[in-house]
Structure 1
């Protein structure tokens, strides 16, 4: 009946989408049989989520994340050939105008944390090195906060940077070992997680957007294999193929070669880009 009322929708796609959403919502109501009070509480929950949204915080995206919907949408839109690197969630803390650096630059601007070198190679699905690939990387600090969460505490653009691969497809930069952190849990989504008996933590990771003309844009993470939240990520973003190796290097000559004074973590991770479908 509701679907029939939408026959004059401005597009077939809108009509199709609303037909499916309406049908599934009605099915849920029939199965759950909510009381009037429960339905009102659901409406108030969504209202509170809307009130939490502003230019810096998107509580609806957070809800989508913790319900696993963000990862499902990503999976539907990121079907790639065998061997290509996998996508995962973008997250809310990407900044579009991060500075571009020469290869090897240290993106940690406040010298806090355990030193780390991240390196690897970018190729196509046939193993050919890709030159001029833009690698946009960002991460939380050793306390689990991004720079935009600590204005006036962390320097602007701390632990962010853009790099471009050379003819050999290789990249490397210096940073600090990231730490697990909590998603914002002071709002209705955090309250929901608490009531469900779930924690709000994400395992330690680095974010990447890897892009080159003619290839699918890769939005992904690499994860610390020793993190205690690796198998219970609150937003379901971990994939087996994105777990890296973090090796501790305690060799003065190696430290000197990469510009550190003491032991550091060495992380090597390669990316494979899929050709863009035309």
Structure 2
């Protein structure tokens, strides 16, 4: 006599049994998403064949990750970042036509109410660091300048810290500003040369990186959010291609198209023309926005 075991869990049919239990879910998108995750997780477990002790340590790692989360720290987002998941989700949701500037992750230090400033303003409020001039154009796919583009920019200082990380040390809104382009699409602002910095590595995600032989550092960069009527918004960075961590960003945010040469300008005539008192760094980078 053959005994049917439909609905009963075995090693071979494990994912199918779990999926069958989810059949009555009211949200089809949720049901399908969970079933896909279950299928891949079960396949990974079958390939790895963890011991009970190893699986318990996995559960405890996730528990410690949750305990590390609060209003100022989201350790699960950090885990998503270092596993490349955040960048993959960003890539899927920001597919651009050929020629448009690429996106990258927002990062945790954006401030929504940074002041709007006249074009060319120095966003360094404490006078520390090596001076820098950043400039370029905001264009459409056909190379036409975009009038009225809102440019929200922010950066870490020459020690690798954002203002919100050093309350009472850096002035509020240090190295932040919002600018708007004119009809020529040109933007420019003064800043300081940013420095690489580590993501928070004092928690379970940092411990995991250490066990995997990975460092926690992000290469030096500027953050941008670009918004213009009739165009898709763009959240992106520009990176220093000579940074020691440019090829090993801990959150996989670097793309070849987002590298912009940080040139040291020492020619007296060029220094005088730019209005600096001594040598400065120059970054020139154009952004191309796509229509929806």
TM-score range, shorter chain: over 0.9
User: What is the CA distance between 1:134 and its match in structure 2?
Assistant: 0.7
Out of 253, 260, 266, the residue aligned to residue 237 of structure 1 is: 253
Q: Which residue of 1 aligns with 2:50?
A: 34
Determine whether 1:188 maps to 2:204: yes
Q: CA RMSD in A?
A: 1.1
Residue from 165, 180, 205 that aligns with 1:164: 180
Q: Does residue 260 in structure 1 map to residue 276 in structure 2? A: yes
1:140 aligns with 2:156: yes
- Residue by residue over 1:193-221, the C-alpha shift from the partner in whole angstroms, topping out at 9 and shown as x without a partner, is 00111111111100111111221111111
Give the corresponding residue for 1:199.
215
Residues 31-50 of structure 1, C-alpha deviations (whole Å, 9 max, x = no match): 11111111111111111111
Choose from 72, 88, 92 the match for 1:76. Answer: 92
2:168 matched residue in structure 1 = 152
Per the alignment, residue 219 of structure 1 pairs with 235
Q: Does 1:24 align with 2:15?
A: no
Any stretches of 5+ residues in structure 2 without a counterpart? Answer: 1-16
Distance 1:17 1:191 in 2: 30
Aligned counterparts of 2:70 and 2:268: Cα–Cα separation in 1: 48
CA contact (8 A) 1:120 1:270 kept: yes
- Where 1:138 maps in the other structure, the secondary structure is strand
What is the Cα deviation at residue 53 of structure 1? Answer: 1.1
1:219-255 per-residue CA deviation (whole Å, 9 max, x = no partner) reads 1110111101100111111111111011111234443
Unaligned runs of 5+ in 1: none
Contact 1:252/1:261 (8 A) holds in 2: no
C-alpha separation between the residues in 1 aligned to 2:182 and 2:224?
Answer: 18
Are the counterparts in 2 of residues 246 and 265 from structure 1 also a CA contact under 8 Å?
Answer: yes
1:10 matches 2:26 = yes
May I ask how many residue pairs the two structures share in their alignment? 276
SS of 1:222's partner is strand
Larger radius of gyration: 2
Please give the per-residue CA displacement for 1:67-125, whole angstroms capped at 9, x wherever unaligned.
11111111111111100000111111111111110101111110000000000000110
Query: Which deviations, in whole Å up to 9, do the C-alpha atoms of 1:165-212 show, x marking residues without a partner?
Result: 100000000000001111110010100000111111111100111111
Output the TM-score relative to the length of structure 1.
0.97
1:209 aligns to what SS in structure 2? strand
Q: Which residue of 2 aligns with 1:123?
A: 139
Deviations along 1:48-71, one digit per CA (max 9) or x if unpaired, are 111111122111111111111111
Once the two structures are superposed, the pairs formed by residues 52-131 of structure 1 within 5 Å of their partners are 52-131=68-147
Aligned-partner Cα distance in 1 for 2:208–2:220 = 23
SS of 1:151's partner is coil
